[in-house]
Amino acid sequence: MSKDLADSISDLRKRLNIVANGFEETLKQQPPNQEVNGKANLPTRQKIAEMSAEVSDSNPYSRLMALKRMGIVQDYGRIREKTVMVVGVGGVGSVVAEMLTRCGVGKLILFDYDKVEMANMNRLFYQPHQSGLSKVEASKETLLHINPDVEIEVHNMNITTVENFNILLDRIRHGSLKNEKVDLVLSCVDNFEARMTINTACNEENQIWMESGVSENAVSGHIQYIEPGRNACFACLPPLVVASNIDEKTLKKDGVCAASLPTTMAVVAGFLVQNTLKYLLEFGEVSHYLGYNALVDFFPKQQILPNPTCDDRYCRQRQQEYKEKKSREVPKEEAKKEEETIKHEDNEWGIELVDESVVEEKSQPSLDGIKFAYEVPQTSHTEQEDQPIQKSTQDLSKLMQQLKNL
């Protein structure tokens, strides 16, 4: 009996070894990054404690840190101290989140309540295997694979409800890496109700934010920098739908959807992130409003002043605070910069640049008894132009007679 049992165990062990060996061979034959259980088995890199300017193929920040060497940004490493909130991670917001992640921002806070659908595959960022997942969770998974150094905080919720609005306010107040106010809020939503919610929250918290949008025909878009009290908020110049108190849901028809192009959304996302980097790292000029019309490649740019009679009471309050702040500021005198002569480090031959516009006077020879044999008369261009042109007094008939005699 014991011998039969031992034989059975030995036979079972052999079969298990065969199965295990076959499984290992199968894994070896699988192509890299093949999906397992619906998720991509992608390699990830280790976290990097500090940004380095070392030029190396293995350094993901070398090209970014080169901005300092080029004189564009004084200290790019400060980007890791910044926290940006992105509300709406759809066609524009998802690309914005990816760009900021690749730029190495310190922390991202994502808000959205929608799920990834196959209808979203005409846009950038999302992939078919993420269909059915919440957009914020799918975004977090992808972004951490791109750059694990970025802290990602996600909220799968609709911010337009009273309870969720309070959560939005709390994350604006305490969402940064130091549990303080976030550095910037980016609106990438696709409806006016959500825009008005973000507008109300930022006015209440005196929070600088940027708004973005793409038209329903997918060939135009815009970005807008909004500093409460300084620029017009979204309620200062509300669109007709908001001003008329029309429910957006009643405007939608079954079987009809808005158009979307990944090209337009990428352009708008690029403008928004570029403006964000200029604001956070203090370089270049931050655009107050920048539009984009793809049909004629038109880029309108302007600044919209706030409405003193805005319906938002916090906006009116911020306007008064901004006026008081400006009145207390001492006007800065423009310093006159003296023209500095250009100094070349390497000039061993003593080469100098001479202004050709200055006419040098010819000096007489220094030796006694010697003088120039001939002086070229100096005639200015104006004198030459003023000399009358001599006109021939011979008429046409005399000229023809001379030709015949020849």
Complete DSSP assignment for 337-393: PPPPPP--S--TT------TTSPPPPPPPSSTT---S-------HHHHHHSPPPPP-
Helix, strand, or coil here: 289? Answer: strand
Burial class (CB in 10 A: 0-12, 13-18, 19+), 388: exposed
- What DSSP designation does 370 have? -
Report the pLDDT value the prediction gives residue 357, as an integer from 0 to 100.
Answer: 58
Helix, strand, or coil here: 134? Answer: strand
- Kindly report the pTM of this predicted structure: 0.71
Helices 192-205 & 313-328 angle (0-180, nearest 10): 40
Report the pLDDT value the prediction gives residue 363, as an integer from 0 to 100.
Answer: 52
| 183 φψ region: left (φ > 0), alpha (ψ -120 to 50), beta (else) | alpha
Print pLDDT tens along the chain (406 aa): 566 666 677 777 777 777 666 656 654 555 444 444 445 556 678 899 889 888 888 899 999 999 998 999 999 999 999 999 999 999 999 999 999 999 999 999 999 999 999 988 988 899 999 999 999 999 999 999 999 999 999 999 999 999 999 999 999 999 999 999 999 999 999 998 999 999 999 999 999 999 999 998 999 999 999 999 999 998 998 776 666 666 666 666 666 678 889 999 999 999 999 999 999 999 999 999 999 999 999 999 999 999 999 999 999 999 999 999 998 887 766 544 544 555 555 666 666 666 665 555 555 555 555 665 556 555 554 445 555 545 455 567 777 777 777 7
Residues 6+ apart with CB under 8 A from 263: 294
Rounded Cα–Cα distance for residues 357 and 61 (Å):
49
358 belongs to a structural domain: no
Structurally, the chain folds into a number of domains equal to 1
21 belongs to a structural domain: no
Q: Which domain holds residue 262?
A: 73-327
Report the pLDDT value the prediction gives residue 324, as an integer from 0 to 100.
Answer: 93
Q: Which of 103, 257, 310, 315 is catalytic?
A: 257
- Residue 257 designated active-site: yes
263 belongs to a structural domain: yes
For residue 257, what is the domain's CATH number? 3.40.50.720
89 belongs to a structural domain: yes
273 belongs to a structural domain: yes
Rounded Cα–Cα distance for residues 138 and 136 (Å):
6
207 belongs to a structural domain: yes
Radius of gyration over alpha carbons of the chain, in Å?
A: 36
Helix, strand, or coil here: 151? Answer: strand
Kindly state the helix (H) or strand (E) to which residue 225 belongs, with its residue range. strand 220-226
397 belongs to a structural domain: no
369 belongs to a structural domain: no
